[in-house]
């Protein structure tokens, strides 16, 4: 029997991060894929938004399967199954471009990636310092995306959206080489107070509701951000350059959260991040031209990646068994599924302004719902840790 990996060891964390990034590839390059579906397959914005949404719905389904039934399943076996489904369902749209067929493949791809992501998120949530671990994870994802995004953009420009789907399948292949870094069980080296402890339904309801609303707002704008730039009069090449540059602010946001950590609690940074997001959306909506679009996108991605670790860390602090943090994945994917779908119905011709205003409303509601959870989490003591095995 293989020994369980030490999830607080840097090499193990980086391996888990790499696996997580592979499962999150569809989100990281989503704007490129949405634009490619419109340009290569001739989909309408509404149809492309539905494809973007069904992927996230699949991730939520896959995660829920593991949350409800997979607590005793072998984590490495789960990862293999998830990666295999993800690879196969990413290759499918390269062979058939019919809307219904692509929807079915992308739903399956989402399920596979959700199964895989559940293993990674559960492991990160059970580290000694989940806020910082999540910050490092998102920072690593942003650094990787800085390479993935321009690569995907170039592939789609040269070969169409099919190349992006092949690219997504390649991102999942490292899973098979890193199986020994994946925990077999959810809690690999700590004993949590989960035995005999009832599930905190009230805390979960607040945090997960806020998460769904937040990701609806994020998904609505991010799925169409490339089209929003084009509709604002920015050339496609310039939009691609701005979105590639935004990966640096993703990194900066996650790095800032990692440095600030919980030194001043979670409430002030989280509220500040949402206010910055609202400002960013206002700039995207009302400041015309390349400079305005660039400023709005860079601020938007910085605030997004600064806020995300505090949301994940708050969920981990609310439940020492990590159950709320794991359920945060389907709440995120539900929001990311609904956001692009709703946004597709709000688009009027080449006018995407209603999408931006919708996202701003979602952010404002989300932070109001989440505020009690933030205040309570700031008063919760750190996760208990037992002696090392």
Residue 4 maps to a domain: no
Residue 262 has a pLDDT of: 74
* Per-residue pLDDT reduced to its tens digit, 317-349: 887 666 787 788 778 878 877 888 898 888 887
Distance from C-alpha of 155 to C-alpha of 152, rounded to nearest angstrom:
5
Where residue 260 sits, what CATH number does that domain have? 1.20.1250.20
- Answer yes or no: is 174 within a domain: yes
173-195: pLDDT as tens digits: 988 988 888 877 654 344 334 44
Q: Is the pLDDT of residue 260 over 70?
A: yes
Residue 385 clears pLDDT 60, i.e. is over it:
no
Q: What is the pLDDT of residues 24-74, one digit of tens each?
A: 888 778 888 888 898 888 888 888 888 888 887 888 888 888 777 766 777
Residue 387 is assigned to a structural domain of this protein: no
In this prediction, residue 387 has a pLDDT band, given cuts at 50, 70 and 90, of very low
> What is the average pLDDT score of the chain?
83
pLDDT the model gives residue 210:
95
C-alpha–C-alpha distance, residues 10 and 16, integer Å: 10
Instruction: Using the predicted structure, report yes or no on whether residue 226 has a pLDDT greater than 70.
Output: yes
Q: Give how many domains the chain has, as a whole number.
A: 1
Q: Does residue 384 lie in a domain region?
A: no
What is the percent of the chain with per-residue pLDDT over 90, rounded to a whole number?
26
pLDDT for 85: 94
pLDDT of residue 136: 83
The span from the first CA to the last CA of the chain, in angstroms, equals: 16
Q: Which two tokens stand for residue 319?
A: 């439940």
Each residue's pLDDT tens digit, 142-163: 778 777 878 888 898 889 889 9
Domain of 41, in residue numbers: 10-377
**Residue 3, in any domain of the structure:** no
**pLDDT at position 280 over 90:** yes
pTM of the model: 0.71
Q: How confident is the model at residue 215 (pLDDT cuts 50, 70, 90)?
A: very high
* 383 occurs within a structural domain: no
Q: What percent of the chain has pLDDT over 70?
A: 92
Instruction: Report yes or no on 217 lying in a domain.
Output: yes
Residue 159 lies in a domain: yes
pLDDT for 363 equals: 96
């Amino acid at each position: 029997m293989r020994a369980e990996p030490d999830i607080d060891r840097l090499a193990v964390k980086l391996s888990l991060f790499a696996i997580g990034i592979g499962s999150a590839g569809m989100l990281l390059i989503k704007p490129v894929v949405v634009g490619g579906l419109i340009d290569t397959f001739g989909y309408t914005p509404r149809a492309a938004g539905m494809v973007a949404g069904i992927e996230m719905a699949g991730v939520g389904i896959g995660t829920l399967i593991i949350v409800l039934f997979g607590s005793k399943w072998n984590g490495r076996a789960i990862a293999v199954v998830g990666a295999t489904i993800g690879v196969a369902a990413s290759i499918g749209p390269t062979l058939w471009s019919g809307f219904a067929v692509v929807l079915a493949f992308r739903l399956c791809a989402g399920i596979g990636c959700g199964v895989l992501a559940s293993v990674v998120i559960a492991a990160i949530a059970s580290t000694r310092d989940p806020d910082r671990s999540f910050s490092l994870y998102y920072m690593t994802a942003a650094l990787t995306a800085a390479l993935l995004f321009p690569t995907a953009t170039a592939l789609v420009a040269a070969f169409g959206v099919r190349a992006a789907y092949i690219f997504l399948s390649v991102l999942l292949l490292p899973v098979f080489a890193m199986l020994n870094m994946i925990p077999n069980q959810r809690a690999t080296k700590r004993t949590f107070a989960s035995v005999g402890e009832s599930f905190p339904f009230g805390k979960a309801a607040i945090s997960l509701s806020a998460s769904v609303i937040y990701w609806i707002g994020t998904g609505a704008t991010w799925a169409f951000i490339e089209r929003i730039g084009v509709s604002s009069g920015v050339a496609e090449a310039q939009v691609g350059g701005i979105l590639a540059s935004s990966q640096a602010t993703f990194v900066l946001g996650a790095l800032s959260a990692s440095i600030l950590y919980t030194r001043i609690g979670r409430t002030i940074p989280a509220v500040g991040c949402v206010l910055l997001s609202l400002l960013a959306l206002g700039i995207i909506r009302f400041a015309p031209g390349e400079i305005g679009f660039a400023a709005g996108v860079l601020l938007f991605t910085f605030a997004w990646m600064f806020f995300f670790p505090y949301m994940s860390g708050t969920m981990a602090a609310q439940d020492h068994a990590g159950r709320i943090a794991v359920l945060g994945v389907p709440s995120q994917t539900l929001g990311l599924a609904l956001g692009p779908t709703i946004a597709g119905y709000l688009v009027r011709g080449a006018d995407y302004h209603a999408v931006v205003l919708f996202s701003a409303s979602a952010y404002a509601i989300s932070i109001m719902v989440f505020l009690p959870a933030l205040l309570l989490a700031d008063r919760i003591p750190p996760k208990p840790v037992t002696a090392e095995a």
